[in-house]
Copies of this chain bind each other. A is one copy, B any other.
Amino acid sequence: MVVAEPVEEGNGERPAAFVQSLERGLAVIRAFDGDHPQLTLSDVARRTGLTRAAARRFLHTLVELGYVRSDGRLFSLRPRVLELGYAYLSGLSLPEVAQPHMEQLVAQVGESCSISVLDGDDIVYVARVSTKRIMTVAISVGTRFPAYATSMGRVLLAAQPREVRAAYLRTVVLKPLTPFTITDPAHLAVTLDSVALQGFALLDQELEEGLRSIAVPIHDRDGAVVAAMNISASARRSTPSAIRADLLPPLQAAAREIELDLRRGPV
């Protein structure tokens, strides 16, 4: 039997015809994570704020669709959920185009390389080549960090239209992720101006102590900044000036190669 969703009042901010049961179903999928790979019905209800009856309906639907398995008491995700994220990745030509250039760069400099895009106030990794080779990718792709505390995020913020950047600086909460994180919006604004001017961002332990990184923009064929690429390095191995002297030129060269390939590409 297919049941009707209850009619509920919107909060006035949502567009017409918001399908609340889709929101709730996706929340049930996201209730599972690395620390909670198996959940009971009560766990799911608690983690999503749904009633037990509602949580049961969504779990049973996801079981029926092959996204969730159940042993009667415990529920867990099935690999089919990978297809949802895969739909996004396979639609991006950038990771595929960038791959050989990132590999070459990592082989050359011996440090890890990533590419991110801006999504709201966060950056999201869409490609990563680690010095430890492979597999970290599957884990890293999809990872989010607040844009303000990352070198790639600063490059992407610096490329935003002036009014978008101003709106961001008015609303963002700048948390001190380390003692070095810039937490004053006026200071961040000046920093973004200089990133825009110099064409790269160098971050010194603002996201994580002991980690430095340098990022440059990647432009599409129309000259718009579509992504940022960085190299990260241990603070023990490299001073900021060494990073700029040794890592920036090969990073910029790799970005130029990727941009040339994007221009050549079919999309």
Measured CB to CB, the nearest residue on chain B to A13 is: B64
Say yes or no: A133-B135 contact (C-beta < 8 A), given A7-B4, A17-B56, A142-B82. Answer: no
Decide yes or no whether A80 CB sits under 8 A from chain B. yes
Q: Does A178 contact B (CB under 8 A)?
A: no
Count of chain copies: 2
Partner-contacting stretch, out of A118-126, A210-218, A232-240: A118-126
Chain B residue nearest in CB terms to A107:
B133
Would you call B76 and A87 a contact (CB within 8 A)?
no
Q: Specify which of B90, B96, B133 is in contact with A33 (CB 8 Å cutoff).
A: B90
Q: Are A81 and B77 in contact (CB under 8 A)?
A: no
**Is the interface on chain A under 10, 10 to 19, 20 to 34, or 35 or more residues?**
35 or more
**How far does the alpha carbon of A101 sit from the alpha carbon of B38 in the complex, in Å?**
26
A2 with B14: CB separation less than 8 A: yes
Nearest Cβ distance between residue A247 and chain B, in whole angstroms?
19
A9 adjacent to chain B (CB < 8 Å) = yes
- Say yes or no: B19 contacts A83, CB within 8 Å: no
Within 8 A of B (CB), among A84-133: 84-92, 95-96, 99, 102-103, 117, 119-120, 124, 126-130, 132-133
On whether A119 and B78 interact (CB within 8 A), knowing A7-B2, A129-B134, the answer reads: yes
Q: Per a CB cutoff under 8 Å, which of B19, B24, B65, B143 touches A3?
A: B19
Residues of B within 8 A of A62 (CB): 22
Partner of A119, one of B21, B80, B99, B143: B80
Known: A5-B21, A60-B18. A142 touches B88 (CB 8 A): no
In contact, B90 and A139 (Cβ under 8 angstroms): yes
Q: A71 in the interface, Cβ–Cβ < 8 Å? A: no
Nearest chain B residue, comparing its CB with the CB of A34:
B90
Instruction: Tell me, in angstroms, the Cα distance from A129 to B130 when the chains sit together.
Output: 12
Bound-state CA distance A140–B70 (Å) is 26
Per a CB cutoff under 8 Å, which of B19, B83, B99, B137 touches A61?
A: B19
A175 contacts the other chain (CB 8 A): no
Interface of A with B (CB < 8 Å)?
1-10, 14-26, 29-30, 32-34, 36-38, 56-58, 60-67, 76-92, 95-96, 99, 102-103, 117, 119-120, 124, 126-130, 132-139, 141-144
